[in-house]
Structure 1
Amino acid sequence: MSGKRTRLAEWRRAAGYSQERLAEHLGVDRSTVARWESGGTAPVPFARPRLAAALGVSSAELNAVLGDSRPSESQLATQAVASGKLVETDLPRRGLLRLLSLAGTVIAGAELVGDRGEFLGEGPLDDGSLAELATFNQQLWRIFALASTKQAVYPLVTQQLAVLVDRLKRTHRVATRQALCELTCDLFQLAGEVFFDNDQYTSAAHCYTLAAQAAREAGSRDLWACALTRHAFISVYEQQFAETVPMLSSAADLAANGDSALSTRYWVSAVQAEAAAGLGDLSACERALEHAEQVRRLGRESQTGGWLRFDGSRLPEQRGTCYTLLGKPDLAERSLQEALSVPASLRRRGSVLVDLANVGVMRRDVEQTVNYATAAMDLSEQSGSGVIARKLAGLNHQLTNHRHDARLLRLSEQISARLAGERSPL
Structure 2
Amino acid sequence: MDLLINHITNLVTVRALGSRFKRGKEMTDIGLIRDGAVGIDNERIVFVGTSSDVDESRAKYVINGKGKTVTPGFVDSHTHLVFAGTREHEFSLRNAGASYAEIHRSGGGINNTVRATRSASKEELLRLSLHRLDTCLSFGTTTVEIKSGYGLTFEHEVKMLEVIQELRERHVLDVVSTCLGAHTIPFDYKDRRQDYIAMLLDQLIPYVAEHRLAEFVDVFCEEGAFSIDEGRSILQRAVDKGLGVKVHADQLTSLGGSRLAAEFGAVSADHLDHLSDEDIVAMKRSGTVAVVLPGVSLFLGLPMADARRLIEQGLPVAVATDANPGSCMSENIQLMMTVAGTMMHLTVEEIFTAVTLNAAAALRRSEILGSIEVGKQADLLIFDVPSYEMIPYHMGVNHLSCVIKRGRKVLDTMQEKFND
TM-score by length of 2: 0.29
Q: Which has the higher helix share?
A: 1
Q: Which has the higher strand share?
A: 2
TM-score by length of 1: 0.29
Give the structure with higher Rg (CA): 1
